[in-house]
Amino acid sequence: MKNYKMTSVKNEARAELHDALGLTGAEISINCLPMGASVPFEHSHKQNEEIYAILEGAGRAVIDGECVELKAGDWLKIEPSAKRRFFAANDRAIKYICIQVKSNSLEEYTTGDAVIEQ
């Protein structure tokens, strides 16, 4: 039995990795909005924060009524209760990863959670 699972993502508008990788501590999606397009709804969460990594292009997020401009290389964390909606720029598409995890659940990270083999 393998201790890993692998998948490949094609050029889809949205790819969710929860089921494809059997994730148990996070939900990860890869999202592509064509120029001028938007996520068709505003949303918030009950207990999960979201971390966004902007991979390509540009756009904006409207978070609790505030407009936040986004470009490739930007990272953004949004608290669960914040209402959010994403938009691609009018002149170019935007591609981003969204990582969804339970807020305040991280107990150890980086080397604190590592077991170094020698």
Domain boundaries, the chain: 14-103
Question: At 43, is the pLDDT very low, low, confident or very high (cuts 50, 70, 90)?
Answer: very high
State residue 47's pLDDT score.
96
State residue 1's pLDDT score.
67
**Which CATH number does 14-103 carry?**
2.60.120.10
First-to-final CA distance of the chain: 24
State residue 59's pLDDT score.
98
Largest CA distance in the chain: 53
pLDDT in tens, 82-112: 999 999 999 999 999 999 999 999 888 887 8
State residue 26's pLDDT score.
94
Coil, strand or helix: which one is 44?
A: coil
Residue 118 has pLDDT above 90, yes or no: no
Q: Identify the CA nearest to 87 among candidates 78, 96, 79.
A: 96
Dihedral angle sign, alpha carbons of residues 108, 4, 95, 62: negative
Dihedral angle sign, alpha carbons of residues 48, 81, 72, 13: positive
Neighbours of 22 (CB within 10 A): 9
The partner residues of 59 in beta bridges, in order of sequence, read: 70, 88
**In the predicted model, what is the mean pLDDT of residues 72-83?**
98
Question: At 11, is the pLDDT very low, low, confident or very high (cuts 50, 70, 90)?
Answer: confident
Q: What is the pTM of this model?
A: 0.89
Neighbours of 116 (CB within 10 A): 5
